[in-house]
Amino acid sequence: MGRWGWRLFEGDQDLDVACSIVEGLGFKTDSWEHSLSSMVHQTDMLAPPEASALYRTSEYSDRLANVIVPYVRENLDTDNLGARLFAASRAKETGIGDLFQDSKYCTIILGALMIRAGARISAEDLQHLRDLVPQINCTSRRTIFEDHGFRDPGKAQFLAALDHYEPGVARSFQEPSCFKCGKIEADIGHKPLQCKKCKVATYCNKDCQREQWRDHRVSCVPFGQVRVLNV
């Protein structure tokens, strides 16, 4: 189904990595009651109606915040599993023949999942994530063929998450975030404002909206007028 949104975990690329990254790094989590990917639900507009309905319930939100995320955080922090996952992922960042830096993007997604859980991340690994960001492909446009790396709002979202990272504090990547600076309600003290035209993009203030307009105007189309989905 491709990519249906502009931020992290709003496309198959990110969700596929989230689902397979632990096993791909050689670690077994078969006994886990909740996986890393269980912290990021599918927000695709083509998801089954019953799934979308579940994600909107208070029961799901409560279980995610008070059961699933703490469970994953505890497992990542036990026996330094998170640090060992980072070490294994960084070891795969050879760059040889990796034109789109997919191996480095896997480390980015691992970092996002760790931040989502509020798991411990060393200062060295946090700096490594910062150093990786400018190396990852990023575009402000939809692409028809090869789809790799960030969209601009996803990149801003990840950098804001790094800036506000605190061990033990879970950070959601699915609540509204500013398309320009990536901040969420907890960072700015109020819910980001929604673009009145497309009702997709959100901004922390008018300044961010103006600064991002050059990139956003191409995709600023009311939902009923959208002709190409999941690209």
**Span of 33-37, 40-44, 76-80, 204-208 with lowest mean pLDDT:** 40-44
Q: What whole-number percentage of the chain has pLDDT above 90?
A: 75
The length of the chain is 231
pLDDT at 46 (0 to 100): 64
pLDDT over 50 at 70, yes or no? yes
β pairing state of 138-139 and 150-151:
parallel
Half-sphere exposure of 86 (CA within 13 A, CB side): 24
Note the pTM of the prediction, 2 decimals.
0.92
